[in-house]
Structure 1
Amino acid sequence: MSLLVLTSDDVEAIICAFQSQNLQLIMAKVFSRFSLLEKKSYSDKSIDFLPDISMPERLSIATANHTALFMPARIGSHNPASLGDTAVKVVCVSKEGSSRGLPSSTLVINEETGSIKAIVNSRKLTAIRNAAGSLLSTCLMKCFQPQSIVAFGAGQQIEAHLDLHIQHFYSIKRCTIINRSRNNRALQLEKNIKTRFPHVECNLLAASSDSSDTARRTEALRSADLIICATSSATPLFSSDHVKTGTHIILIGSYTPQMQEVDGNLIRRALLSGTVLVDSKRDCLREAGELIGAGLTSKELTEIGDLIPTDLQGNIEMEKYEALMGGIPVEETPKDIERTFDGPVTIFKSVGLGIQDVAIASAVVEKALDQGKGISVAGYDRPASERGHISGAE
């Protein structure tokens, strides 16, 4: 049994081969099956299919310099020819903090043999799967022809989000990156966006209160159609008064009750649209500081998976899905309206699901096998019966 090893360069090359629509569909399948499982757990009699999903609690082990996190998950298969996909992501979080990102690898298991099928460098995969889910939310919330995008942070999460959104929406003409300072990572991100998307005006602004960029930050926010936040801030990054009606806000940074990227007023403005969109009601009400601080209840949240059209067996109804994602004709796009700063906005809050890691890693492995990419280690798990007798030292 051979083992496939995918380096960070391999993964980056493979991811580039996916179109944004492909990545969105992968996440749509994940979210829809998760929400079906949640409904079934509440004895929803309308569902006669029980999704085969497993997401045990993550295991944390302290080492000398890091905290090692082990996150197993499994997605069973609809396809009788496939058993499903199981993976374990291992992430090491530096105790001192690091600007180099988090070392991360995913082990993908061959469900037929029980052997390790692949080891995938997943430094960027978490960011990619989060960005794909966020892009799905942007399309589902009908953010038509956005022209201006504002991003808080300068890490891999923000880079992946900007990359996918600008790829998908050709209408985006302005991009503003707001970071704590103009550090090397932020400057490199600004350079990358300008290089990849020369048609987009990209500006990097510092977030400190004494910065000369204060007026420019406010104006960027006031004109933003999309705002993406990926920080660990414990205080709101900006005032709700600076966000215009109709803006779509993506929140992926906070993961504890003490973290809060936006204020309660903005959360309540999202309720004017009818709901706040989340990946998991249960996890967001337990971990997302913004929603906890605003006192939201489960009834005020909608899981993104609930918006995906599926049949009672959990299969996405592709015709309805494609119509939903296709938006409306350009000539029917809502005309510019008077700019206000107290009306409805839309919000997507994500804390992440383990099965997203399984889905994206498995998709990358399958694409690598099709393209012949990666390093194949032959005989990695050859049983003793196939190796012949090995004599010991005499």
Structure 2
Amino acid sequence: MLVLSSADVDALVAEISPDELAQLMAVVFRRVSENSGVDMPHRLSVRTKSHNTLFMPSHVDTYGTAIKIVSVPTSGGSDGLPATTLVMDETSGGVKAVVNARNLTAIRTAAGSLLATQLALGPNASPRILVVFGAGAQIAAHITLLLRYYSGSLRRCIIYNRSLNARAEKLVESLRRNFTSVTFLCRQTPENTDGVGDDANSLQSDLGSSDIICAATPSTKALFPSSFVRPRTHLNLVGSYTPQMMEVETSLIHRAGLLMVDSRSACMLEAGELVAAGVRPEDVREVGELVGTDSEMPPRDSSGDRITIFKSVGLGVQDVVIAKLVVDLAKTKGVGYNLNSYDDRNPTVVQS
């Protein structure tokens, strides 16, 4: 059994191009939309003292079977999302790899957002300004993949967080080291954006000049007014995963000329923004339906107020394909720890 630590995973993922990750998501999203070769039971949730622990089993033909276990902090829980993916051996039925998925979860989610951004902006896009909400692993992965893919144009990244804490400062320091040609700013998300004030004015100015907006927060109220977002902006919303959570106003959802989702059925149940906006299944397009069909994309400037939105609640099949990619790469490069005696078929009998 192969065991991959967080450091192992980070080193392996760094060698995979953003476009390869996005195209991997294209394959799995298309299979989901076509209901071809995938088995994705709804995730189970178990409440512990300080977390909601989610169990997400999935199977994808030719990629295999895996189950991800991720703990989402509740009151008293620690920051971050501890996660592990168990990759199954299709022949023996045993576990062939244990993969630390704390950051891998963020990377597969960001890869899906990158794919949606590519579809929304088109192949010749040159976005200049990225605005994000949150400072955790999800946002770090989104920023990293978007900056790597749009390295020729993105030159400014503004990070909004509910507090200017050590985690936010550490994120900015790391990004500045890795992307020296990009200007990074970190601001506190205003509590009240309805009134007049420097914080609200800065937020309005930043959003009004942005090309891409990403949000990955557990917010239960909109992070900013819809009016702050200029036409033709693309948004990736990956934070909310229950009907009670929402990151944007209903009016912003209604402005979408193209409203993309990872899964129509999952988002109709779990995406708080869409539930609150009364979005119907026929109002959204699954990303898997749009892959390779640029001619069916609605014009981004079909209305003067239109924007594009991608809403993701996360799918277990994403974990299957990215875990396989990482495990295969680890075996090729000899990375990780092999536990050869984990499932000994000929155990030694211990005499009493």
1:61 to 46, 63, 66: 46
Residue 208 of structure 1: how far off its partner (Å): 2.8
- 1:158 is the counterpart of 2:139: yes
Q: Identify if the C-alpha distance between structure 1 residues 169 and 259 changes in structure 2 by more than 3 Å, giving closer, same or farther.
A: same
Match of 1:74 in 2: 59
Match of 1:47 in 2: none
Residue 58 of structure 1: how far off its partner (Å): 2.2
Does the CA contact (< 8 Å) of 1:14 and 1:368 recur in 2?
yes
Q: Structure 2: which 5+ runs fail to align? A: 295-299
Does the CA contact (< 8 Å) of 2:138 and 2:216 recur in 1?
yes
1:197 to 170, 174, 179: 179
Does the CA contact (< 8 Å) of 1:269 and 1:342 recur in 2?
no
Residue 63 of structure 1: how far off its partner (Å): 3.5
- 1:236 is the counterpart of 2:222: yes
Q: Identify if the C-alpha distance between structure 1 residues 64 and 348 changes in structure 2 by more than 3 Å, giving closer, same or farther.
A: closer
Segments ≥4 residues shifted beyond 4 Å: none
Q: Identify if the C-alpha distance between structure 1 residues 32 and 69 changes in structure 2 by more than 3 Å, giving closer, same or farther.
A: same
1:349 to 311, 325, 331: 311
- 1:382 is the counterpart of 2:344: yes
Match of 1:126 in 2: 105
1:295 to 273, 278, 289: 278
Does the CA contact (< 8 Å) of 1:5 and 1:377 recur in 2?
yes
Q: Once the two structures are superposed, what CA deviation does each residue of 1:153-212 show, in whole Å capped at 9, x if it has no partner?
A: 111110000000001002001100011110111111111111111111110011133784
Does the CA contact (< 8 Å) of 2:39 and 2:58 recur in 1?
yes
* Aligned partner letter, 1:204: C
Q: Identify if the C-alpha distance between structure 1 residues 65 and 343 changes in structure 2 by more than 3 Å, giving closer, same or farther.
A: closer
1:247 to 213, 233, 236: 233
Q: Structure 1: which 5+ runs fail to align? A: 38-50, 78-83, 310-319, 325-333
Residue 342 of structure 1: how far off its partner (Å): 5.7
* Aligned partner letter, 2:141: A
1:370 to 323, 332, 337: 332
SS at match of 2:255: helix
Match of 1:330 in 2: none
Does the CA contact (< 8 Å) of 1:252 and 1:350 recur in 2?
yes
> Bigger radius of gyration, 1 or 2?
1
- In 2, distance between residues paired with 1:391 and 1:151? 58
* Aligned partner letter, 2:242: T
Identity of aligned residues (%): 43
Does the CA contact (< 8 Å) of 1:181 and 1:208 recur in 2?
no
Match of 1:105 in 2: 84
Does the CA contact (< 8 Å) of 1:241 and 1:342 recur in 2?
no
Match of 1:313 in 2: none
Q: Identify if the C-alpha distance between structure 1 residues 298 and 391 changes in structure 2 by more than 3 Å, giving closer, same or farther.
A: closer
Q: Identify if the C-alpha distance between structure 1 residues 289 and 391 changes in structure 2 by more than 3 Å, giving closer, same or farther.
A: closer
Does the CA contact (< 8 Å) of 1:150 and 1:228 recur in 2?
yes
* Aligned partner letter, 2:264: K
Does the CA contact (< 8 Å) of 2:51 and 2:77 recur in 1?
no
User: Which segment is superposed worse, 90-99 or 219-228?
Assistant: 90-99
* Aligned partner letter, 2:260: L
Match of 1:392 in 2: 350
What is the count of residue pairs matched by the alignment?
A: 339
CA RMSD, 1 decimal: 2.0
Match of 1:263 in 2: 249
- In 2, distance between residues paired with 1:258 and 1:64? 21
- 1:280 is the counterpart of 2:263: yes
Does the CA contact (< 8 Å) of 2:109 and 2:138 recur in 1?
yes
SS at match of 1:150: strand
Q: Identify if the C-alpha distance between structure 1 residues 126 and 392 changes in structure 2 by more than 3 Å, giving closer, same or farther.
A: closer
